[in-house]
Chains A and B, each alone.
Chain A
Amino acid sequence: MRTNGSQTSEMTAYFLGIYESRYFWTHLAFADLRSKWRRSFLGVAWSIVQPLGMTMLLALVFGRIFHQDIVAYAPYILSGMITWDFFTTTLTGGSLSFVQADAYIKQYRHPLAIYTLRTTLTNLMVWMMASLSLIGWVLVVRPQSFGWSWLAAILVFPFAALIVWPLATCLAYVGARFRDLPHALGLIMQAMWFVSPIYFDAKLFRDGGIGALVDYNPIYHLLELLRAPLLRGQWPTAANVAMCGITIVVFSALAVLIGRRTERKVIFYL
């Protein structure tokens, strides 16, 4: 079990523990998916229908207000919406991951990060299914953007997951103790939404002289991994990939830092 070694070997043991419990957390993630659509008629189709309907609604309104071409603008909104949905649901849900898994945590000593991994994985699968609606839409209205660059769009899933997982883990450590966090998080996410090019075109920010909100915003760069290929038929830039990579490193370091001090104490707060 536990041996007193250096901190690196402790980290290795921690990740080994995550690997060894892979059957358990994949099961939990799939069980979450099943229970999400239990006894619903449309079932999993909801993850495609819902963003699609919402996008049509928004595109109609936004198109009128900002005088944009609805057909071109709609996939922009759709890509932003499903990605942002992944972020908010994983982070707000993730902040309660440990609280939700208390029955397991009190019985068996798995690395706690598997419980936020479960939340991340569940929402990742929902997001992947929702992205089918985006692909379908783009293929119909902008078939000219189809090409090899689409392969790069696949990158958005692992990158986003690796950004969100450590961040959700940080939040879960804090959320176990401070139950105000999910409520506060709703507010913070709303604020992030306003200052990020999620529904609004990045050009609007640049024209308004607040281009920094775009250029230094990891959300923008992550969305570009998806948008550049799918919407414009271009490859994402190196800067896009680099910014996402930096974000992963920063959040992972933060998670390790917080986890080292709080991981063992979480059980007292459940």
Chain B
Amino acid sequence: MTRNWIRLDNVNLHYSAVAFKERSLKAMLAGAFAAPNAKPVVHDIHALKNISVEIAPGERVGLLGHNGAGKSTFLKMVAGLYPISSGSRQVEGTVRSLFDLSLGFEPDATGRENILYRGLLLGQTPKFMRSVEEQIVAFADIGEFIDYPIKTYSAGMQVRLAFAISTMVGGDILLLDEVIGAGDVTFMRRAKARITKLIEASEILILATHDFDSLRDICDRVIVLHHGEVKFDGAAGAAIKEYGRLTGVNA
């Protein structure tokens, strides 16, 4: 088996303000005539600050933090989606990430077609996707709708199908961002069982969640993020206490 590990050294990540600042002619003209300081100034966002973390094979890591603390940014940085502005990021192993599940469906194509498309997006071959199609259909359990276009689906059905497809293929490093939390009760139970199986199959897990119970159950190490900084890195129980202290919430 290959050795999978993650090594982050002094990682900083900025969202550059030019990406969301209004830079139109209209805004320029309006700015010329408006009173000075009438508009709030938009700065670069320093989303991750001096993060140094090493994750060894076999570790189950939780991420805890308030909204906007940098949990999702952390995961997307590890997945290699976001470029870091300084420091070094080394990730060894195939990364499988589960975030923004219902993004990227083709509304006009049927559920069955979308199973194939999504599998291809995730880097699978058509042959493999055909071999697991029936399993995915069975797990999503949305009846005859599987042959209907996605645009006829309810939000819950979309999530179920997306979940069924995305969890079909595992990886060495599994990144989860609050995926548990949609669908009805029976589906939730099966989803949890499925996630547990995926987690067992993966070598490294990083899970971002606000659910203390799953943190205690699954993770043997929890990192607390607060305004982009690592405030605590250690056992789940102590991490939850620290999180409570930082945000003023009793856990």
A residues engaging B (CB < 8 A)? 1-2, 4, 20-21, 23-24, 27, 31, 35, 38, 103-104, 106-110, 177, 264-265, 267-269
Contacts and interface: CB of A to CB of B under 8 A. Distances in A.
Given A1-B91, A265-B83, A104 B104 contact: yes
B123 A268 contact: no
Where chain A touches its partner, the secondary structure class is helix
Contacts of B83: 264-265, 267
B19 A109 contact: no
Interface in B78-135: 79-83, 89-95, 97, 99-100, 103-104, 106, 108-109, 116-117, 120-126
B104 A269 contact: no
Contacts of A104: 104, 121
B232 interface: no
A24 B123 contact: yes
Contacts of A267: 81-83
Given A103-B104, A267-B81, A27 B120 contact: yes
Contact of B19 (A4, A110, A268): A268
A143 B175 CA distance: 63
Nearest to A27: B120
Contact of A1 (B93, B108, B116): B93
A265 B125 CA distance: 28
Contacts of A268: 15-16, 19, 82
Interface size class of B (residues with CB under 8 A): 20 to 34
A34 to B, nearest CB: 8
Of B91, B93, B95, B120, most buried by chain A (CB within 10 Å of CB) is: B120
Contacts of A106: 81, 100, 103
Where chain B touches its partner, the secondary structure class is loop
Contacts of B79: 109
A110 B122 CA distance: 9
Contacts of A27: 116-117, 120
A174 B112 CA distance: 36
B49 to A, nearest CB: 18
B109 A31 contact: yes
B124 to A, nearest CB: 8
A269 B23 CA distance: 13
Nearest to B25: A180
A31 B113 CA distance: 10
Contacts of A264: 83
Nearest to B23: A178
Given A24-B123, A31-B117, A269-B19, A38 B103 contact: no
Which 8 residue pairs across A and B have the least CB separation, nearest first? A264-B83, A103-B104, A24-B120, A103-B103, A268-B19, A23-B120, A109-B80, A269-B19
Contacts of A107: 97, 99-100, 103-104, 121
A109 B121 contact: no
Contacts of A265: 16, 83
11 contacts: A1-B91, A20-B123, A21-B123, A31-B117, A103-B104, A106-B100, A107-B97, A109-B80, A177-B18, A267-B81, A268-B19
Given A4-B90, A108-B97, 14 more contacts: A1-B80, A1-B91, A1-B95, A2-B91, A23-B126, A31-B109, A103-B100, A106-B100, A108-B122, A109-B80, A177-B18, A177-B19, A264-B83, A267-B83
A270 to B, nearest CB: 9
A31 B114 CA distance: 11
A108 B123 contact: yes
Interface in B21-68: none
Nearest to B129: A23
